A and B are shown apart, each in its own frame.
Chain A
Amino acid sequence: MASWDDRYSRRQFIRGAAGVASGAAAGSLLAACGGSTPVSTKQKATGPALNRDPGTLVVAMDAFTADFDPASYFLLSAIVPNFGIYDSLMRMKGNSATETKPWLAERISTNAGKSVWTFTLRHGVKYSDGTPFDGNALKAAYTRTITAQLGAGSTLSTYITDPGKQITVKDPHTVVMDLGTSVPRFDLLLASQYGTGIVNPNVSTKSKNQGHVYLQSHSAGTGAYMVQSAEPNNQIVLVRNPHYWGGWNGSHFNKIIILQVPQNSSRRQGMESGDFDISFPSTPQDTAALKKTPGIFVGNQKVLGMDYVILGTYGALASPLARQAVNMLFPIDQFASSVMKGTIEAPHSVLPDLMLYSDPGTYKAHVDVAQAKSLLRQAGVKPGTQLTYEFYTGQGDSAGLLLQSQLGLAGLHVKIVEKAYPAFVADISTPKPVSQRPDMAYWFWWPEFNSPSDFCFPILSNQATPQQHLFNGGYYDNAKVNTAINKGFSEAGDSKLVTNLWHQAQTVMGQQDPPWLPIGQIIDTSYLRTDVKGYVANPVYVQSYDFYALSRGSA
């Protein structure tokens, strides 16, 4: 196979073409077009200069959502700003995927059965308007998130469905939660970024829908920063919360500006020119180039997410043998290293390596065309069969092209279909006749918290197919996997049982009855200036930044 490294990347092509067209007037530009990883002449030696207020942190995201309601914000585009605004009871510790640390809960204890959890709340915590935070505020905030039905209540309602009865305020600083079942790692759930932010219950009086409208342009958290202004499609400005319990004695940024920069090339240029301190990743080619740019750090933290291609358990791929064959035709290692330039890592299981109960070795990627052809024959898939591969604009195009080429080796034709994001989401999450479903579709996923059941339920459970308007778009239904998912929630206390169930489930999914072609484990390749200190990437907090921990130092 031709080396993908040898191909001209789209960005290089643009640069090359630009140089030709602009002629002598763009001499300096042409000079930058020569290498495979062009670097601006200004920052070749020293890194990008900082010609702006050093006390302000500028973050460039591809898109953000100005929604500051913990009961509704659920997309990464809203998680990033809110991570600096809202506190939860627990936080993930350092770069650990399994260790938590007390946050608004100063101490945490549980009964022998791990079903009743007691939290001693931190003293001296105030919301950004000066209102004290206590047990009643916590109960009111959680109740609001669970009952508001605005999208983000699913995390807490995994175990708390009746907050009025299950949450008891013993005294202003002691709260007890009775989960009704053994949940040994409830702390992991409480450390989630999704739906666990503790909002000031006073917002309920500010506007209709329990203050939801108010929280589209204002914040009401106990976190280090609060919203100064939010202009959709433009920028969110966060300033220090004067009442922050952590205090402002150390070195911290005064202001956080989050910009919406949708173009990949613009985010890269902004990093190269020093306009941004932190940026969401751009293309793999840009990431590879920025790794070699002085003054810029490119993150390399493997997270709990997975890129994969859904394989429909209907039509031509109905037989598990056919899905095994597809897995045997895709060169995952080369794809990760050459096409994706190391921005993903080859999977070792259907579960990400850092997930609880992950069993590396249950999935072994290898290409064997002869074996794949044999499996297809056994599955009754004839040469010349056409399969459809669907992806949405901006994600999954290169995997589709490679899949098309590789499946062609086994005589299969792949028709690649590009869709807009809403149409794509509709295709994999709403019921359609078999003839209208894609055989293969690119998708990715990460959990709300470190739990294989939480990770797998919406994408692999037989209770989460498009019939239920969830994301098991391949209509996968395997009894062992369903059992592992369900027991993982309800029998979480029986560690031996759950370990065994997840081993079986991973073996089934990785070898016998594949639901997907797992393409790669996601790596958080955020870009940061090297003079931004205090950054620690956590596998659970995908592409999120603890603004309070960051400060400006020397490059």
Chain B
Amino acid sequence: MGMLIARRLAFMVFVLWGITLVTFFLSHVVPGNPARLMAGPQASPSQVAHISRIYGLTDPLFVQYGRYMRDLSQGNLGFSFVTRRDVRTDIATFLPATVELAGYALVIGFVLAVVTGTVAAYRRGTAADAAGRLTAIAGLSLPVFWLALLLQLLFHTELGWLPLGGRLDPGVTPPPHITGLLTVDSLLTGNISTFVNAAEHLVLPVVVLAAGVYGLMVRIMRTSVLDSLGEEYVRTAEAKGLSRWRVLRRHVLRNAMLPAVTVLGLEFGLLAAGVFVVESVFQWPGLGNYAFQAIQANDYNATLGATFVIAVMYVVINLIVDIAYLYLDPRIRYA
């Protein structure tokens, strides 16, 4: 186990270096001068040049990359031209919002999918199976942007049940920062009204994000459970007189979960892409929104910083998935 983690961590360094290399040069070859955007259209050429010099934008590209990598090794992600703050500060501000949103979406989507997929497999050919498959197709096929607007129209504008966007209502004071997750922090500080407010704001964006996770996972779980149900070890367990619940838990689900867990790691990538859209539509002040604004404004450092952090999360989650594999299937040993 220790060797596995060490090897994966070493591999991770190369992956992340590659990502910085590609992202850095891609973002810098796109036309556009951040100093001009920062100075404003009326600024004189000398003012634009002055701002370019302040931020080292006049240096050759490889010099800028070398400086970026040196700073990165010291934990310095540079300065954002859009927010006018250190990117590290920005990420510390925006990451918890995304973690909270994506975390709930992943957990809720996954748990619902496991339940629905299992029920659909157990009741194959029934109305429950059809409903499970139908909702899965809907979750997979509805465009995130469209679904988000639809839910806003219905649940906010028409019914008035849920807020339009943001993490809290305007004017509601956030709980003291402990984890940055508003639902957790408000509970930890005993602020129930803020918890309710934060939870209400989470509902729509979480539903939209979770829909994609749910759709894919239901189909995988249904197929996997059906496969497991046909296996001899399941028949043997049933023949031994084990209860149906015990068969399901110990023999069916444990084996059926393997493909789902594999996909879960990859699903994070899709989720990260969905976050860009969902955060934009729901004015969610998270990393996706931050990266979106940064890309639009050619904000190199912010784009690089956000990409780097998302890449780290992706690699780490897939490492966790690999470790989970060992638990779920003790037969697996990594060479």
- Chain A residues engaging chain B, CB cutoff 8 angstroms: 14-15, 17-18, 21-22, 26, 28-29, 32, 40-42, 52-53, 56, 58, 63, 65-67, 72, 74-75, 149-155, 194, 209, 216-217, 231-235, 255, 257, 259-263, 265-266, 269-270, 272-273, 275, 420-423, 425-427, 429-430, 445, 448, 458, 468-471
Measured in the bound complex, the distance between the Cα atoms of B85 and A535 in whole Å is: 33
A153 interface neighbour in B31, B47, B171, Cβ under 8 Å: B47
Q: A28-B158, A425-B36 are in contact. Are A269 and B46 (CB under 8 A)?
A: no
CB distance from A270 to the nearest CB of B (A): 5
Q: Which 6 A-B pairs have the closest CB atoms?
A: A422-B32, A74-B40, A151-B39, A234-B285, A232-B83, A422-B298
B contact residues around A75 at 8 Å (CB): 40
Q: Which residue of A lies closest to B298 (CB)?
A: A422
Contact B41 A150 (CB under 8 A): no
Measured in the bound complex, the distance between the Cα atoms of B80 and A234 in whole Å is: 16
Measured in the bound complex, the distance between the Cα atoms of B36 and A124 in whole Å is: 39
Asked if B93 lies at the interface with its beta carbon under 8 angstroms from chain A, I say: yes
Measured in the bound complex, the distance between the Cα atoms of B153 and A407 in whole Å is: 39
Contact B84 A426 (CB under 8 A): no
Extra pairs beyond A155-B42, A216-B85, A232-B80 (6, CB < 8 Å)? A154-B42, A272-B157, A273-B157, A422-B30, A425-B37, A426-B36
B contact residues around A458 at 8 Å (CB): 41-42
The digit string for B138-161, where 1 denotes a CB below 8 A from any CB of A, is 000010001001101110111110
Contact B47 A18 (CB under 8 A): no
Contact B40 A273 (CB under 8 A): no
A contact residues around B44 at 8 Å (CB): 154
Contact A273 B84 (CB under 8 A): no
Cross-chain pairs A/B with CB under 8 angstroms, 10 sampled: A72-B38, A151-B38, A152-B40, A232-B85, A234-B167, A235-B170, A261-B165, A420-B32, A421-B32, A445-B41
Q: Which residue of B lies closest to A60 (CB)?
A: B283
Asked if B225 lies at the interface with its beta carbon under 8 angstroms from chain A, I say: no
Asked if B296 lies at the interface with its beta carbon under 8 angstroms from chain A, I say: yes
Measured in the bound complex, the distance between the Cα atoms of B34 and A67 in whole Å is: 16
Contact A150 B39 (CB under 8 A): yes
- Chain B residues engaging chain A, CB cutoff 8 angstroms: 30-34, 36-48, 50-51, 54, 80, 82-85, 90, 93-94, 142, 146, 149-150, 152-154, 156-160, 163-167, 169-171, 280-283, 285, 289-290, 293, 295-298
Contact B169 A52 (CB under 8 A): yes
CB distance from B125 to the nearest CB of A (A): 24
CB distance from B55 to the nearest CB of A (A): 11
Contact B46 A149 (CB under 8 A): yes
Q: A14-B146, A150-B51, A232-B90 are in contact. Are A66 and B31 (CB under 8 A)?
A: no
Measured in the bound complex, the distance between the Cα atoms of B146 and A26 in whole Å is: 14
Measured in the bound complex, the distance between the Cα atoms of B43 and A149 in whole Å is: 9
Q: Which residue of B lies closest to A195 (CB)?
A: B42
CB distance from A107 to the nearest CB of B (A): 30
Contact B37 A151 (CB under 8 A): no
Contact A74 B283 (CB under 8 A): no
A contact residues around B158 at 8 Å (CB): 28-29, 32, 40-42
Contact A269 B41 (CB under 8 A): no
A15 interface neighbour in B34, B153, B170, B280, Cβ under 8 Å: B153
A contact residues around B163 at 8 Å (CB): 275
Q: A67-B84, A233-B83 are in contact. Are A468 and B39 (CB under 8 A)?
A: no
CB distance from B54 to the nearest CB of A (A): 8
Q: Which residue of A lies closest to B44 (CB)?
A: A154
Contact A266 B47 (CB under 8 A): no
CB distance from A446 to the nearest CB of B (A): 10
Contact A56 B170 (CB under 8 A): yes
B contact residues around A65 at 8 Å (CB): 82, 84
B contact residues around A261 at 8 Å (CB): 165, 283
Contact B36 A429 (CB under 8 A): yes
Contact A423 B154 (CB under 8 A): no
Q: A29-B158, A468-B45 are in contact. Are A262 and B164 (CB under 8 A)?
A: no
Contact A469 B31 (CB under 8 A): no
Measured in the bound complex, the distance between the Cα atoms of B282 and A265 in whole Å is: 11
Q: Which residue of A lies closest to B34 (CB)?
A: A422
Measured in the bound complex, the distance between the Cα atoms of B173 and A255 in whole Å is: 13
A contact residues around B37 at 8 Å (CB): 421-422, 425
Contact A257 B82 (CB under 8 A): no
Measured in the bound complex, the distance between the Cα atoms of B153 and A425 in whole Å is: 35
A contact residues around B38 at 8 Å (CB): 72, 151
Contact A74 B39 (CB under 8 A): yes
Contact A151 B47 (CB under 8 A): yes
B contact residues around A149 at 8 Å (CB): 46-47, 50-51
B contact residues around A265 at 8 Å (CB): 149, 152
Contact B297 A29 (CB under 8 A): no
Contact A427 B31 (CB under 8 A): yes
Q: Which residue of B lies closest to A57 (CB)?
A: B170
A421 interface neighbour in B149, B160, B280, B297, Cβ under 8 Å: B297
B31 interface neighbour in A41, A266, A422, Cβ under 8 Å: A422
A contact residues around B167 at 8 Å (CB): 234
B contact residues around A421 at 8 Å (CB): 32, 37, 296-297
